[in-house]
A and B are shown apart, each in its own frame.
Chain A
Amino acid sequence: MDIRVGGGYSMSNFWFGEGIRKGKKTERFPFAPPEEPPERPSRMEGSGEPYCPTQAIKDGKWDAGRCIFCRFCEPGYTPTGKQDIFKVNRTEPVLKKSFYIYKLDSGACGACNVELETIFDPQYDANRLNIFITNSPRHADAIVVMGVHTDGMKEALKNAYEAMPEPKLIISMGACSISGGIIGESPIGREKYHVEIAGCPPSPYTILEALARARGD
């Protein structure tokens, strides 16, 4: 295969030009509706008591934090495309101008890990909302817990939480982390989370809006 950029280019000019040529790719979300919301995960609506392997549907109510969007309940329940499947139990408005999150993979399948990174891609650009990733819990305002409880990560989770300065938020991301999903148990228990971001895995739209709302936006 012969692939060339073209004669006469200096590479620094090439990359500068590439940055300009593409133009602005960031969507206006969460200040405007999502441009391409996924069908799943999204808010499910329906009726009846279809079989649900994670008991997300009980007594005619749908629990977003338990749902893994396996389609077992369809067509009784159908996805609506609405991305507002998160719950904020506590907000920290002091973090509005600078919100650093530390991600902790307690026992995730990898899908949540990728979706959390995706919010920093050009379509979403979480940095414009003053949301950043930090590599150390000592610099973190919130810990984002992904995956189920595993014995090997229990101590790492405890140490990371204790190393964080106050005020600090505990954010649960994905069905595994919130309720154990289809695989196991929640790493710290659902009642202890300040923010629940539902989905299996949650879509970048849901993650972005939930993080923004955690600061009281």
Chain B
Amino acid sequence: MRYKFGEPSGRYIGHWGKYHVYADSISEIAPDGYNDLPVHKMAPGEFNFQYGPSTGGLMESVGITLTTPGELINSVAVDPSYKARSLKLKGKSIGEALLLVERINGFHAASNSLSFLMAVEDALDLEVTVEVQKARILQLELERIRSNLEVIKRLCEPAGFGVPTNQLGYLREKVSRIISGVAGHRFFFGANAPGCSRVSSSGINEKLSEVGQEFQRLYAGLLESKIFLNRLQNNGVTKDSLLTGPAARASGLRYDSRTVRGELPYMETPFYPVVREEKDCFGRFCVRGEEVLNSIDIIASLGSLKETVRTEIPKGSGEGCARLESPQGDIFYYVQLKNGSIEDLWHVSPGTLNIRAFRESMKGNIFTDFHFNWESFGIWISELGVVIQ
């Protein structure tokens, strides 16, 4: 297994139950200050405003409690448990477990399923060809482009910025259609199995290049739209270093699982971690914008990829884990197999750290800042509200 149980080693990735995952180890020891989020004591004149779980302004069901004297937000609590789903994974074969793992977060199904499959391959000591590894990069980067377009679109929406909102929606749908052509499904469902990848990249570079050119023009327009930028700058400033994904990179931290050698061959592509220093919504917006363009360059460098099919899923025993850079940040899977069936499985979602950072960064802001800040983290509740059985 690539990761060892023991003392904390490397930067913090996140936790599942009693396990805390670091860049190089799994430990039962939490990082300093992790459990020390201050408890807010209600001051005279303050009240709790309940937002959600079901309301039009939120993509998914989530309960948010804002503590405020009227305008200033002094504390935020986020409850992702309303839509908690029980997934019966233990005892399932790898193929059937994969169907459930894909649906832990449908919008980031490639990140979840590939991280799970790489953990399975680690457990079974399976060799994966360079062709398949490149096909996995293709999927992850297509997913990142679509996810980042979605986040930027959702940043434009609360500003009432109709033209870019619609044009970003148009581009996002173009990418969904590219994914559908590449993988036979708009969300990569059923496109992967251990050691193989049912994706083909024929003819996508031209379409992606068009998306890139159109996005570059929109992004340039947004960067010069001062009224829009005013909603993002100094909104949701992160103060912590327990961050992941675009939120970390927007805070000057060079955290990106794609830089890890031995997982996927990103170093053979034009990949570079986009790092900004702003620490606010604007920084997160810029990181995502530049990552869209970098992901298009990465895909162009992969060359032509053909479908690889392996029909037989090997039966074996062992434990393994893997970490990938999903559009939200580090995603980690641990699996334990017995005769080809799932004995134990857990995962670490980047949403845990992102919600923690969102709560901290929301203090001192006002309600009109809320949606910009929430959307800038790109949090998916479905990944957090999961009970694995």
Chain B residue numbers with a CB within 8 Å of A90 are none
Closest to A14 in B: B221
Distance in Å: Cβ of A96 to nearest Cβ of chain B: 23
In Å, the complex CA distance between A40 and B218 comes to 31
User: Provided the pairs A1-B290, A106-B61, A153-B83 are in contact, do residues A111 and B219 lie with their beta carbons within 8 angstroms?
Assistant: no
In Å, the complex CA distance between A135 and B216 comes to 32
Provide the B98-120 mask, 1 if CB < 8 A to any CB of A, else 0.
Answer: 01100111111100000000000
Whether A94 is near chain B, meaning CB under 8 Å from some CB there, is no
Chain A residue numbers with a CB within 8 Å of B99 are 53, 68, 70, 182
Whether A167 is near chain B, meaning CB under 8 Å from some CB there, is no
Q: Do residues B223 and A3 form an inter-chain contact, with CB atoms below 8 A?
A: yes
In Å, the complex CA distance between A201 and B180 comes to 13
Q: Do residues B83 and A152 form an inter-chain contact, with CB atoms below 8 A?
A: yes
Whether B53 is near chain A, meaning CB under 8 Å from some CB there, is yes
CB-CB contacts below 8 Å: B215-246 with A = 216-221, 223-226
Distance in Å: Cβ of B55 to nearest Cβ of chain A: 6
Q: Do residues B54 and A160 form an inter-chain contact, with CB atoms below 8 A?
A: yes
Q: Do residues A109 and B169 form an inter-chain contact, with CB atoms below 8 A?
A: no
Q: Do residues A153 and B61 form an inter-chain contact, with CB atoms below 8 A?
A: yes
In Å, the complex CA distance between A110 and B223 comes to 29
In Å, the complex CA distance between A117 and B217 comes to 24
Overall SS of chain A's interface? loop
Q: Do residues B83 and A147 form an inter-chain contact, with CB atoms below 8 A?
A: yes
CB-CB contacts below 8 Å: A171-195 with B = 181-184
Whether A32 is near chain B, meaning CB under 8 Å from some CB there, is no
Q: How large is the interface on A (under 10, 10 to 19, 20 to 34, 35 or more residues)?
A: 35 or more
Q: Do residues B87 and A200 form an inter-chain contact, with CB atoms below 8 A?
A: no
Distance in Å: Cβ of A203 to nearest Cβ of chain B: 7
Distance in Å: Cβ of A150 to nearest Cβ of chain B: 5
CB-CB contacts below 8 Å: A1-58 with B = 1, 3-5, 11, 14-16, 18-19, 22, 25, 36, 38-41, 53
Chain A residue numbers with a CB within 8 Å of B100 are 182-183
Q: Do residues B224 and A109 form an inter-chain contact, with CB atoms below 8 A?
A: no
Q: Do residues B107 and A110 form an inter-chain contact, with CB atoms below 8 A?
A: yes
User: Provided the pairs A105-B83, A113-B60, A136-B56 are in contact, do residues A70 and B189 lie with their beta carbons within 8 angstroms?
Assistant: yes
Chain A residue numbers with a CB within 8 Å of B164 are 15, 18
Distance in Å: Cβ of A199 to nearest Cβ of chain B: 10
Whether A84 is near chain B, meaning CB under 8 Å from some CB there, is no
Whether B31 is near chain A, meaning CB under 8 Å from some CB there, is no
Q: Do residues B54 and A71 form an inter-chain contact, with CB atoms below 8 A?
A: no
Whether B68 is near chain A, meaning CB under 8 Å from some CB there, is no
Q: Do residues B96 and A122 form an inter-chain contact, with CB atoms below 8 A?
A: no
Whether A85 is near chain B, meaning CB under 8 Å from some CB there, is no
In Å, the complex CA distance between A151 and B108 comes to 24
Q: Do residues B382 and A110 form an inter-chain contact, with CB atoms below 8 A?
A: yes
| Stretch of B20-28, B170-178, B334-342, B365-373 contacting A (4+ beta carbons < 8 Å) | B170-178
In Å, the complex CA distance between A38 and B55 comes to 30
Q: Do residues A148 and B85 form an inter-chain contact, with CB atoms below 8 A?
A: yes
Chain B residue numbers with a CB within 8 Å of A147 are 83, 85
Whether B185 is near chain A, meaning CB under 8 Å from some CB there, is yes
Whether A134 is near chain B, meaning CB under 8 Å from some CB there, is yes
Q: Do residues B103 and A182 form an inter-chain contact, with CB atoms below 8 A?
A: yes
Q: Do residues B54 and A105 form an inter-chain contact, with CB atoms below 8 A?
A: yes
Chain A residue numbers with a CB within 8 Å of B106 are 108-112, 114, 201
In Å, the complex CA distance between A177 and B263 comes to 36
User: Provided the pairs A38-B180, A183-B87 are in contact, do residues A109 and B185 lie with their beta carbons within 8 angstroms?
Assistant: no
Q: Do residues B221 and A18 form an inter-chain contact, with CB atoms below 8 A?
A: yes
Closest to A19 in B: B163
Q: Out of A109, A117, A133, A150, name the residue touching B84 (CB < 8 Å).
A: A150
In Å, the complex CA distance between A106 and B54 comes to 9
In Å, the complex CA distance between A22 and B84 comes to 42
Whether A77 is near chain B, meaning CB under 8 Å from some CB there, is no
Q: Do residues B180 and A200 form an inter-chain contact, with CB atoms below 8 A?
A: no
Q: Out of B82, B173, B216, B221, name the residue touching A152 (CB < 8 Å).
A: B82
Whether A121 is near chain B, meaning CB under 8 Å from some CB there, is yes
In Å, the complex CA distance between A181 and B60 comes to 19
Q: Do residues A111 and B109 form an inter-chain contact, with CB atoms below 8 A?
A: yes
User: Provided the pairs A19-B163, A38-B180, A123-B173 are in contact, do residues A71 and B84 lie with their beta carbons within 8 angstroms?
Assistant: no
Distance in Å: Cβ of A110 to nearest Cβ of chain B: 4
Whether B200 is near chain A, meaning CB under 8 Å from some CB there, is no
Chain A residue numbers with a CB within 8 Å of B163 are 15-16, 18-19
In Å, the complex CA distance between A15 and B100 comes to 43
Q: Do residues A152 and B53 form an inter-chain contact, with CB atoms below 8 A?
A: yes
Whether B86 is near chain A, meaning CB under 8 Å from some CB there, is yes
Whether A88 is near chain B, meaning CB under 8 Å from some CB there, is no
Provide the B37-65 mask, 1 if CB < 8 A to any CB of A, else 0.
Answer: 00000000000000001111101110000
In Å, the complex CA distance between A200 and B53 comes to 23
Task: Enumerate 6 A-B pairs (CB-CB under 8 Å) in ascending A order.
Answer: A22-B167, A106-B83, A121-B172, A122-B167, A153-B54, A183-B100
Residues of B within 8 A of A (CB): 53-57, 59-61, 81-87, 95-96, 99-100, 103-109, 150, 161, 163-164, 166-167, 169-170, 172-173, 176-177, 180, 184-187, 189-190, 216-221, 223-226, 290, 293, 380-382, 385
Residues of A within 8 A of B (CB): 1, 3-5, 11, 14-16, 18-19, 22, 25, 36, 38-41, 53, 68-72, 102-115, 117-118, 120-124, 133-136, 147-148, 150-153, 156-157, 160, 181-184, 200-201, 203-204
Q: A5-B221, A22-B167, A108-B83 are in contact. List 8 more A-B contacts (CB 8 A).
A: A15-B163, A105-B83, A110-B105, A111-B106, A111-B107, A121-B172, A135-B57, A203-B186
